[in-house]
Amino acid sequence: MMKYNYKLMLAIAFFHLTGCQKSQPPKTVSVQSYQEHSQFKGKIEAYSQSPYSSPISGIVSEVYHQPGEYVEKDTPIFKVKSDQAQQTLLTQLSKRHHTESKYQQTKRQESVYKDLLNEGAISQNEFLEISNRRHAYEFEMVEIRHQLDKICPLLEDDLCNQPLSEIEKHLPLVLIIKSEDSGILHKSQKENPFAIGQLIKQNEPLFVLANTERIHVEFAIEDHESGLFTPGSQVKIKIQRPNQTLLGTVENIQPSSEKNTAEQFIVHVRSETISEPKSIRIGSMANIELPSQHDYLLIPHKAIFSEKPQSYFVEKILNNKETKKIAIKIIQSMGWYSIITGELEPNDQLLYYDQS
């Protein structure tokens, strides 16, 4: 008798579990608009950087600006004393005066020789000899100008166009190294020249100018967030100090190269042109925000079903009370909900069976 009752109880329990599950009525849920912004943090970097090498060798005698400061184009950065540059300048100016005189004299002779050649008074070889001499002086003047172009822009008061007697009154010469563009000063990768008494050498790195007319922001995302970004899509770049919002464009998305970061991606964003580039602080953090115009929707996980891997659907209730299977794309999972896209509108009704 006890054994019979035990079997009967199992049968009744099984009937209730299976029978009740089949008889559960379907439930409905509303599709919600996804209003909340997704935010990511990234470090601000200059979109381009220009290294600047020293045009001369010498010793820094005065420093006008330090790394981290914003400078405009043609802003003095260093004052430099250079015996080598001074000697080169005086030598080349003296050569220029002598060579220009010889060039003008030879040019006049060439004109006379051309007339004599046309009259048959001299041979072709005699004319070519004076013509070649004029070309040689012309080439020498180009070389002199090349040497002076390294030093003359560093002098004040347009001294290179003054007579030698006037230049000698300003000895020893002081040379000013200026920024060739606008940007934020950074140290070069080698020695730090931003100190009085520092020796600098010609053609060695002096400093770097970070152009902040645009900025570049790089940040990491997880694999399930990669659907939020596509190359060319628009985002907002929010900077706290100073408080400003910039429009940005996603340039590319690449797998992370770091170890132990499986299923991570790196997103690169370029900003629009910045009206106040001097306010940007390289190395500070920025928030990357997805704009609200994305047509993302929010629905509970339990309203989603799958018929095969990476294929997701919901059951939409139509106006005639019938239902239609709608394909969706899951953008991101968030708690009990999923952020999705698909042929749905906010307030659409979805049908589902609660299996819990």
- CA–CA separation, 201 and 179 (whole Å): 17
Q: Report yes or no: 353 and 340 within 8 Å, Cβ to Cβ.
A: no
Distances (CA, A) of 348 to 220, 246, 253, 318, 345: 34, 34, 33, 9, 6
pLDDT, average across residues 311-334 = 91
Confidence of residue 12 (pLDDT cuts 50, 70, 90): very low
Name the pLDDT band for 63 (thresholds 50, 70, 90). Answer: very high
CB-side exposure of 350: number of CA atoms within 13 Å?
29
Question: Which range scores top for mean pLDDT: 28-32, 35-39, 166-170, 273-277?
Answer: 28-32
> What local confidence, expressed as pLDDT, does residue 106 receive?
93
**What is the arithmetic mean of pLDDT over 194-205?**
88
Please list the alpha-helical segments (H only) found in 24-82. none
Specify the 3-state DSSP secondary structure of 252: strand
User: Smallest Cα–Cα separation from 40: which of 247, 285, 272?
Assistant: 285
Q: Is the pLDDT of residue 5 over 60?
A: no
**45 vs 7, more confident:** 45
As beta bridge partners, residue 338 has: 299, 333
206: nearest Cα among 229, 231, 185, 230: 185
Mean model confidence pLDDT for the chain: 84
Average pLDDT over residues 118-122: 88
Share above pLDDT 90 across residues of the chain, in percent, rounded to a whole number? 37
* Calpha distance 50→328 (Å, rounded): 47
pLDDT at 261: 52
For the chain, the 3-state helix, strand and coil shares in percent, each to the nearest 5, are 30, 35, 30
What pLDDT does residue 10 have? 34
Q: Where does the chain show beta strands of DSSP type E?
A: 27-30, 32-33, 39-53, 58-63, 70-71, 76-81, 175-178, 183-187, 199-200, 205-222, 234-239, 244-255, 264-271, 285-289, 297-300, 305-308, 311-317, 323-334, 337-342, 349-352
CA–CA dist 208, 52 (Å, integer):
6
Enumerate the H helices of 2-82 as residue ranges.
Answer: 2-23
More confident residue, 160 or 95: 95
Dist CA 263 CA 221 (whole Å):
9
Residue 15 or residue 60, greater confidence: 60
Burial of 131 per CB tally in 10 Å (0-12, 13-18, 19+): middle
How much is the pLDDT for 17?
Answer: 34
pLDDT at 1: 34
Does residue 110 carry a pLDDT above 60? yes
Task: Let me know how many helices (H) and strands (E) the chain has, helices first.
Answer: 4, 20
Q: Are 41 and 288 in contact (CB under 8 A)?
A: yes
Does residue 11 carry a pLDDT above 60?
no
The pLDDT value given to residue 280: 87
Enumerate residues 6+ apart whose C-beta is below 8 A from 188: 51, 52, 205, 206, 207, 208
Four-residue CA torsion sign, 106, 112, 116, 121:
negative
For the residues 161-185, what does the mean pLDDT come to?
86
pLDDT at 2: 34
pLDDT above 70: residue 113: yes
Residue 137: its pLDDT value, please?
A: 94
Task: Count Cβ atoms within 10 A of the Cβ of residue 177 and give its class: 0-12 exposed, 13-18 middle, 19 or more buried.
Answer: buried
Cα–Cα–Cα angle for 337, 352, 339, rounded to 5 degrees:
20
CA 111 to chain centre: 57
